[in-house]
Amino acid sequence: MHLSDRITGGFLVLLGALAFWGGSRLPGVPGQDVGPAVFPMVIGGGLVLCGALIALGIGRSFEAPEDDATEALPGLAGRLGRYGTLAALLPPALLLFYVVAVEPLGFLLTGAAMVLVATLALGASWRLAIGVAVCAPPVIHLVFYKLLRVPLPEGLLAAPW
């Protein structure tokens, strides 16, 4: 997911312009010149400026040189080969899975599924993955549900405590 400075700089210019435009359309406070519009407009302007400078490659001499990893990647990233970096999207995807699944399935099952998939994706053996998936969610549940009284949903499988 390494993008060129042109792309990230261009994105910042676009974002800054949108912030400036969006900010300028906010309603003001009656009888006052300064309102909620000022701050987003200042930031938007700054982002446009910074983005343009980055796209032009100014300030690059301060950056540390890239160290390209050429080692073999384990687990999911290794399977994906050239697209190994895309494996990085798995953790946020699992978090979204948690959001969707935790109410119907309950914390213990959702947590176990999340941990199992993530452990395997990191290249662990099935034995380790199942071990972690079985042990970790109940311990976390115990701490957060019992000690800290966070209302974690029960779903299909309720904890015995």
Partner 1 sequence: MTALLDGLLMVATFEVAVAILASAVYGMVIGALPGLTATMAIALLVPITFYLSPIAAVATIITSSAMAIFAGDIPGCLMRIPGTPASAAYTDEAYALTRKGQAELALGASLWFSAIGGIVGTVALMILAPALAEVALSFSTYEYFWLSLLGLMCATLVARSSPIKAIAAALLGLLVACVGIENPGGVPRFTFGSTDLLGGIEALPALIGVFAVSEVMRAVASAPPPPIPNRRLGSILGGQWALTKRYQKQMWRGNLIGILIGALPGAGADMAAWVAYATSKRFSQEREKFGTGHPEGLVESGAANNSALAGGWVPALLFGIPGDTITAIAIGVLYMKGLNPGPTLFTEKASSMYALYIVFLVANVLMIPLGIAMIRLSKNILRAPRSAAMPVILLLCAVGAFAIGNNLFAVVIVAAFGVIGFVMERNGYPVAAMVLGIVMGTMVEQNLVSSLIKSDGEVLPFFERPVASGLAALTITALLWPAGVWVLRRLRRAQAAI
The answer to whether 17 contacts partner 1 (rule: CB under 8 A) is no
DSSP 81: G
The residue among 33 and 161 lying less far from partner 1, judged by its C-beta, is 33
Among 89, 134, 142, 156, binds partner 1 (CB under 8 A): 89
In the structure encoding, which two tokens stand for residue 151, read together? Answer: 């209302």
Q: State the nearest-atom distance from the C-beta of 110 to partner 1, in Å.
A: 9
Q: State the nearest-atom distance from the C-beta of 64 to partner 1, in Å.
A: 4
The answer to whether 54 contacts partner 1 (rule: CB under 8 A) is yes
How many residues lie near partner 1 (CB under 8 A)?
90
The answer to whether 85 contacts partner 1 (rule: CB under 8 A) is yes
Q: State the nearest-atom distance from the C-beta of 115 to partner 1, in Å.
A: 4
The answer to whether 124 contacts partner 1 (rule: CB under 8 A) is yes
Give the distance from CA 29 to its chain's centroid. 36
Q: State the nearest-atom distance from the C-beta of 135 to partner 1, in Å.
A: 9
Angle at 20 between CA 18 and CA 23, to 5 degrees: 105
The answer to whether 82 contacts partner 1 (rule: CB under 8 A) is no
- Are 19 and 47 in contact, with CB atoms under 8 Å apart? yes
Phi, psi of 93 (to 5 degrees): -65, -40
Q: Say how far apart CA 101 and CA 146 lie, in whole Å.
A: 22
The answer to whether 67 contacts partner 1 (rule: CB under 8 A) is no
Of the candidates 10, 18, 2, 1, which has an alpha carbon nearest to the alpha carbon of residue 57?
Answer: 10
